[in-house]
Every structure is written in structure tokens, then in C-alpha cells.
Amino acid sequence: MARRISGCGERRNGCRRGLKSSLAGARVTWLWLPMLFLFLCSSASTGTEQLGDAPGHPTSDPSSELLNGTSALSQALSRHLAIAERGGWPALPQGETLRVGMSGPAVEVLRLRLSVSGDLTPDAGKGCVFDGETEAAVKRFQARHGLTQDGSVGLQTRSALNVPVEERIRQIKVNLGRVSTLPRDMGDRFLFVNVPDFSLSAFRDGRRVFEMKVVVGRPQRPTPSLREPLTHIVFNPDWNVPRRIAARDILPKILKDPRHLTKKGFRVYRGQTAEGPELEPEAIDWQGLAGKFPYRLRQDPGPQNALGRMKFVLPNPFDIYLHDTPERKLFARTHRALSSGCVRVEKPLELAAFLLADDPAWSPEAVRAAAESGKTRWLRLSDPVPAYVVYWTAWADPNGTAQFRDDLYHRDARPDDGVAEVEVAPTPFPPAASAPRSGASMSGRPSFAANGADG
């Protein structure tokens, strides 16, 4: 067990004696240590860019990191293969959370682990004290693995540290296949959503204009990979609730509170077609449905609407779309696989302004005014913007640093590397000349306007 420092000098020998038992408990043989120190010594002159997860050579054009990602990720693969050949990295034994001010065998294993992956320099990898340098290394590791950057080693960070290098190698190989499927020409403007990273980036002329957090589908209701044109923006949308969500998610709330539908602005219609008459929620025997749900629910626009003030439509066979959300607190979480498949965006006003930037009628102020008007309005983009929703659990950032994320949907383990089964064939982007201008309101809704999964 790691302990608080009370003068590390006199406890140095104790750390060294405890290191052997810690490594053995972590299923790492004592023979591994000479290999490690040889590796550290041989790497000292090359710099951390050649070690494990640490940064490799930056791409020649950081603004084109997506298209240059295959080369940088291949470099990361080579670095990990070299580590595997030298025996891999040690596994951290289970135990209490490690943080600044502690010392002991577990901390020494941690420092060795971080030195192998390049988060600590080889010299700094020797020691049993959790000092400021170790904390900074832990934060670097956490940043590259999508973890909360608190500098302490709790359950999640320990789990990521203990992923074997062989598993990281397999993960990189799977994602090299995914990265290679990107087209060379992704469009002058496009959106890029990486589901495991819970992020959305907007690109223009090869440059990342902005990035924002997103909420994606939970494992039971995963967000699919897509390549589709984003064609419409809906201000103040209503929400036609899919029957599955009505039965599984909303019905239990109705049974707890009979006035739930009224409080949240839902209307109830008989049957599943638009022709069904509206019914009074209080007149329905909700208790007697017995697993069936013969009604259609529609939530009116407003502050409680699950889609928020904006919906971004990209026609696809899954009825998946991007949208705002009234649950702003969810973006403060690190793990954001919380929706029923659709993608909730952190900054809908900024996204809408980006999509409408080439239309002089739609300044950022006009976008905000439309959102705050409370009126439902459909806009067709005069120039549809490609949207790429991908599932990358490993990639290289503009600096060549290998990034890893959890395999939320267990797609990495599929026999075909999870590429063919999760990628949807690209839909041709319609020419701008065939679509009305962005400022044109639509009196009717397109045939694909089903409200799909919930937000």
C-alpha cells in the first residue's frame, strides 16, 4: 500500500524491496525489470517521441490531421510494437487511489509504467514518490485517454494504465482500417463527430473551426456511423416520440406521475399515424396497457422539449440527427454515452451559425433570434454540409500523439475490425443548385422528417 511521505530518503530501500512483490502481484515477472532498464537507457537519447503513447512526429499540416491520420497512427503502431518486443509495460497492482504526496511500491510501479509510455522521462521513471512531475505525467496520460484530468490514479485511470500493450496494438490496427476509409476530398466544409470521444468538430478549408462536446447513444442504443449530408435546420422543433421510447422510457414516468405528460408538454394521439385523433392523457388507463403502447406522443416546442431549440437533420436510414438539449448539465460529465442514439450538441447556436455562414440573411444574431422566437421553422441549407459520424477508439492528434478511448459499443472486437458493419454507404451530396435557398421557410415537412431516436 502506498503511504504518505514522511521523509522519502530513509524509506527508499523499503520502496525497492516492495517493488518486487508489487510487480509479482501484477502478474509481471521479476525478469521484466532488467529488460525495462535496458529499454529506458537505450531510449534516453531518442526523446520521448519514440516511446509508447507519447507524441510522435507532428503531421506536416496540423490543419489536415484527419487526412494525415493514417501516417501518424502508423508511427504510433511502430512505437507500440517496439515496446511489446521489449516486454511491454508493468501492470499497476490494485489498491487505493494514488495521488500527490504518497510513496511506496505501487507509486514506483506507476512511475515505471509512465516512463515506458513516454509520459515520464527515463530518469524520472526511477523513484517511489508521487511528486508534481508524476502528477503532470498522469494528467498527460488521462488527457490522451479521455479521462478526467485530476492527476490522481483511481479506478478508471488504473484500468487504462493496465491495458496491455498488445491490446493497444490491436486497437491501433483496427482503427487504421477505419481512418483509411475517409475520402480524400471531405468537402470544403464538413462536420466530424467521433462517438467514443464524445466530440464534434467543424472544418472549413481544411481547418478546424471549432470543437464542442456531444452526448451520444448509450451502449443499449448505440449511435451508428454515418456519412450523410446535413440538409436542414429546424428551429424550435416538436418531438414525435418513437413508440419504443414511449413504452420503455416515458410510460414508467406516467405511471409514477399521471400528470407527467401535461407537465412536460406532451400530446397524445390514438394510433401511430398522423390522422389519429388527440386524446386527453387523464382519460387513458395507462396501468392497463400491459406492455403495449397503442398511442403516439408528440412533445410541443418549448423549454422542456427533449430536442431543445434546434434540430439538425441529416437523412439516414436510422432516423438519427443532431440536436440541442435542455439537459445542459450532461456536458459536464466526462463519459457522455447517455442518449437513445441521436447526438446532442453542446453549442447549437454556434453550429447553426457555421452551417449558415455563407448566407447573408443569417447572421449569428438572426440565428439566435430564430431560436428564441419559440416558433417552429424549417430551413433547407442551400449547400448541404457533409457530416461524418465515426467510431474511432484510437487516432493520432495533430501533434502525432496517440489518443485512445473506450470501446463503448464493443465494435473493436468484431471479426471484420468493426468497419464494414458500422459504416453506412456514403450518400451523394445533392448539388446546391437543386435546393431552395437557406432562408426559405418550408410550409410542409420533408418525407424523411421522422423524429427517429430520442435525443
Residue 223 · residue 341 · CB < 8 Å: yes
**DSSP for residue 49:** G
**Count of beta carbons in the 10 Å neighbourhood of residue 257:** 11
Extract the C-alpha cell encoding 245: 421510447
Which residue in the list 15, 80, 128, 342 is annotated as catalytic? 342
Which of 91, 98, 90 is closest to 1 using CA atoms?
98
* Strand segments (E) across 309-376: 310-313, 322-323, 337-339, 343-345
For 360, residues 6+ apart whose C-beta sits below 8 A from its C-beta are none
In whole angstroms, give the CA distance from residue 227 to residue 370.
28
Q: Let me know if 342 is a catalytic residue.
A: yes
Extract the C-alpha cell encoding 94: 490494485
Neighbour-count burial of 439, counting CB atoms closer than 10 A to its CB (0-12 exposed, 13-18 middle, 19+ buried):
middle
Q: Let me know if 8 is a catalytic residue.
A: no
Which residue in the list 41, 323, 335, 410 is annotated as catalytic? 323
Q: Measure the CA angle with vertex 122, ends 116 and 126; round to 5°.
A: 95
Residue 343 · residue 337 · CB < 8 Å: no
In whole angstroms, give the CA distance from residue 211 to residue 84.
34
Residue type, position 208, single letter: R
Q: 3-state DSSP call for residue 387?
A: strand
Residue with cell 520502496: 15
Residue 307 · residue 275 · CB < 8 Å: no
Which of 86, 85, 97, 110 is closest to 26 using CA atoms?
110
Extract the C-alpha cell encoding 47: 526523446
Active site residues: 323, 342
